[in-house]
Amino acid sequence: MKLIISSVSGEPIYEQIKNQIRSAIMSGELTAGEALPSLRKLAKELRVSVLTVTRAYNELADEGLVENVQGKGTFVMERGNELMKERARERIMNKLREVSIEAKAADISLLDLLGMFEKAYREQS
């Protein structure tokens, strides 16, 4: 897994790390039980603070994507675990709320919105 950090993207570095690791887990590039690089190793490799990597790893653990094992490291959890699913539901619901606000502001009907969602969902298959 190769992480690419941009200092000009406007997105916080810990978010960039977190999002790229999340994508690698969800795509299967990182598999269940696989160890992530140590905090110090990744911080040195990316030339960022250990605290930055720690925050990214802790937020991934809060989402149920990884597990921090004291003295051993951080490991990818099973993709189907319940905590991961619940956190994904929360993130998705928040995004759907934002989309709903925009749709109402643009006077897009619920039926049209559902059709748009279905099309977007099917495009991912």
pLDDT in tens, 5-36: 998 989 999 999 999 999 999 888 999 999 99
**Which residues, other chains included, contact 42 with Cβ-Cβ below 8 Å and sequence gap of 6+?**
3, 17, 36, 53
Cβ atoms of 43 and 53 within 8 Å: the answer is yes
Q: d(Cα 39, Cα 28) in Å, to the nearest integer?
A: 22
Class of domain 13-76: mainly alpha
Helix (H, G, I), strand (E, B) or coil at 5: coil
Helix (H, G, I), strand (E, B) or coil at 3: coil
pLDDT in tens, 62-92: 888 999 999 999 999 987 677 778 888 888 9
Q: What is the pLDDT of residue 80?
A: 63
The candidate with the shortest Cα–Cα distance to 86, out of 66, 55, 64, 67, is 64
Stated pTM of the model: 0.72
